[in-house]
Amino acid sequence: MTSEAVSKYAVDLVFVIDVTGSMGPVINEVKQLVNGFADRLRAVMTSEGKGLQDLWVRIVTFRDLGDEGARALAASHFYQLPAQESDLRKFVDELTASGGGDDPESALEALWLAMRSPWRGVLRSRHIIVLLTDASAHPLGRFPYPSHLFQDSLVAPRDLSEMKNQWGVFPHSGVMNAQARRLVIFAPDATPWNDVGERWENTMWLPSRAGQGCMDADIDTILRSIAKSV
């Protein structure tokens, strides 16, 4: 395939990362991953017969709203790579694995925050969410959404069915582009990931080991999964 025939994509990528105590190994992997990330992803995409036009990356982190309240969720803005790689590295280097209490965690609220990202509406867009966790998730509605992170008028989903509708059945124009959206999940065979992984459109689920820091996720697997989802 000639370079002229390769489709190039504008990729907006959001990592949704469990930063509870058991996730230290994965956080360390992410810290290594962001070094030269745009070039590394471009190389892997090239091996898949795809091109990378440009890359924006955002980070969303979560623990347990029941334990830490609104502090359990946090998010960066989008970083434009490679120009802002040093700023992204600085943000990621400050991530630490701590807290979270017992399984489950507040991953679905974090996923909703990622879905509400300020995605670009450009030609050949890919809006990709990569979620990494070794725990199940609390059902939506058990804890309130942190008001400082959800300040718009769009009603947040009250359960997994409503979230699925926003993902792919009846998506709101302010949530995700139906043609661009992709979801890659590294999560155990537990609620709700078995349901999301098997039933949501444009979703790739790679089961990990519960309670063991998502040990099956390594840099090459993460890069390959992103490239395949484009």
pLDDT (average), residues 75-97 = 96
The SS3 assignment for 225 reads helix
pLDDT (average), residues 81-94 = 96
Phi then psi for 42, rounded to 5 degrees? -60, -40
pLDDT band at 179 (very low <50, low <70, confident <90, very high): confident
Q: Which comes out higher in pLDDT, residue 229 or 6? A: 229
Has residue 212 got a pLDDT over 70? no
Q: Which residues have a Cβ under 8 Å from the Cβ of 178 and sit 6 or more positions away?
A: 168, 171
* Structural tokens at position 217: 């996720």
Domains and CATH numbers, the chain: 3-147+157-229 (3.40.50.410)
How do residues 6-65 score in pLDDT, each as one tens digit? 889 999 999 999 999 989 988 999 999 999 999 999 999 999 999 999 999 999 999 999
Q: If residue 15 lies in a helix (H) or strand (E), which one and from where to where? A: strand 8-18
Please give the model's pTM, rounded to 2 decimal places: 0.93
Has residue 164 got a pLDDT over 80? yes
pLDDT band at 172 (very low <50, low <70, confident <90, very high): low
Find the distance separating the first CA and the last CA of the chain, reported in whole Å: 18
> 7-16, 96-105, 120-129, 219-228: which range is least confident on average?
96-105
Which residue type does 59 have? Answer: I
Strand partners, 79: 57
Half-sphere exposure of 13 (CA within 13 A, CB side): 27
Angle of helix 85-93 versus helix 24-33 axis, rounded to 10: 170
Which residue type does 90 have? Answer: K
Q: If residue 33 lies in a helix (H) or strand (E), which one and from where to where? A: helix 24-33
pLDDT band at 151 (very low <50, low <70, confident <90, very high): confident
Q: What is the pLDDT of residue 216?
A: 59
Q: What is the pLDDT of residue 3?
A: 47
- Mean model confidence pLDDT for the chain: 89
Has residue 105 got a pLDDT over 90? yes
Q: What is the pLDDT of residue 177?
A: 84
How do residues 115-136 score in pLDDT, each as one tens digit? 999 999 888 999 999 999 999 9
